[in-house]
Amino acid sequence: MPDRPLVAIVGAGITGLACAHALRDVADVTVVDRIPVPGGVHGWEAAETRELARACRAHMRLGETAIRWDGLALLAIGQDGPQRMEAAALVIATGARPLGRAELGIAGGRPAGIVAATVACHLAENGLLVGRRPLIVGGGDWAMRAAGELRAAGAERATLVCPDGLLRERPVDDGVHVRERDRVVSVAGTPRVRTATLASGETLGCDAVVLAHGVAALRNVDGAVWAGDRAVYAQPLADPATVERARAAGAEAAAAVRSLIDQEERP
C-alpha cells in the first residue's frame, strides 16, 4: 500500500524485529543491520529470531551500516554503496554496551590494555587474549562471560571487581577471584596497564582491565544520538538482557512510532 508510512529500524536483533512485527499492519518497515544476518546478540539460528524475521514482513537490509539520520531520511552504506531511505520515523534498536572508563570514573593515565568486555570477548573468541591476568570490572552477565571466555582463551587468572556485588552465581573456576562491593578508582602503567587501585585502598597487579559494569545504550547513528527529530529508542538497559525484555522494548517502541505517526497525520 503506497500510502502507508515508511519506518526505518536500525538493529535486527530481537528488539528491532519485535518492533517491526508490531508495526507490520500499519507501516512499511525497513530493518537495517550492519551484520548480514538478523538476530543480533541472540544469534541468527535462534528460534525466536527465525520466527520474528519471517513474521515481521519487513524489508531487510542486512549487511548495511546506518550512518546518518537527518529527521527525514536514513543514510546507509552497504555492498551497493550509499543509499538514502526516507522514513516517517526512525527506531534505534542498536543494543547496549558496558559503561566506558570515563563513565566509571576511573582516573590515571591512558595505558594500553583497557577494553570493553564486548571487545575482550570478541577478541578471545578469535584467539586473541587481552591479558593473562585481567581485572574485570563488573559482576553481571558481561563480567561473567568475559571471565569465562578469557580463562578459556588462556588467561592464568581473572579478578572480578564488582561495584554492585556479584549479580550472578559465584564462578566455580578456581582461577576466577571475586572482590565484591569494591570499585576501581585508578589505573597505572606504561605503556600497558600494570596496576589498578581500588576504592578500598588496595592496589592489584594486572595486565588488562576489562570494563563490564553497567549498561548504556549504543547510539552510533549520527543525528539520532539524542531524542527528537522523529527518532524513537528501543534499547532495554536491564541486566540480564532477556528475550522477553527485548520483545517488550520493541513493542513499546512500536507504540511510540504509532503515536508519532498519528500526531503527524492529524490536521
Partner 1 sequence: MKVTSPIGELPFVVRGVSLHDGHVVVEGELGAWRSRIEVGAEDLPMLGRAFRGPLIAAGLGLAGIALLRRR
Q: Is there a contact between 17 and 212 (Cβ–Cβ < 8 Å)?
A: no
Cα angle 247, 253, 256; round to 5: 150
Among 22-30, 33-41, 179-187, 203-211, the segment contacting partner 1 (CB under 8 A): 33-41
The answer to whether 62 contacts partner 1 (rule: CB under 8 A) is yes
Closer residue to partner 1 in complex, CB, 120/232 = 120
DSSP 138-167: -SSHHHHHHHHHHHHTT-S-EEEEETT---
Q: Is there a contact between 152 and 124 (Cβ–Cβ < 8 Å)?
A: yes
Among 55-63, 87-95, 182-190, 197-205, the segment contacting partner 1 (CB under 8 A): 55-63
Q: What is the smallest separation between the CB atom of 76 and partner 1, expressed in angstroms?
A: 13
Closer residue to partner 1 in complex, CB, 11/108 = 11
DSSP H or E stretch at residue 198: strand 195-198
Q: Is there a contact between 171 and 155 (Cβ–Cβ < 8 Å)?
A: no
The answer to whether 47 contacts partner 1 (rule: CB under 8 A) is no
Helix axes of 14-23 and 243-265: crossing angle, nearest 10 degrees: 40
The answer to whether 79 contacts partner 1 (rule: CB under 8 A) is yes
Q: Is there a contact between 149 and 162 (Cβ–Cβ < 8 Å)?
A: no
Closer residue to partner 1 in complex, CB, 61/219 = 61
The three grid cell numbers given for residue 109, joined into one nine-digit string: 593515565
The answer to whether 67 contacts partner 1 (rule: CB under 8 A) is no
- Residue of 6, 24, 26, 35 interacting with partner 1 (CB under 8 A): 35
The answer to whether 85 contacts partner 1 (rule: CB under 8 A) is no
Binding mask 100-129 for partner 1 (x = CB under 8 A): ----------------------x---x---
Site residues (vs partner 1, CB under 8 A): 35-37, 44, 60-63, 79, 122, 126
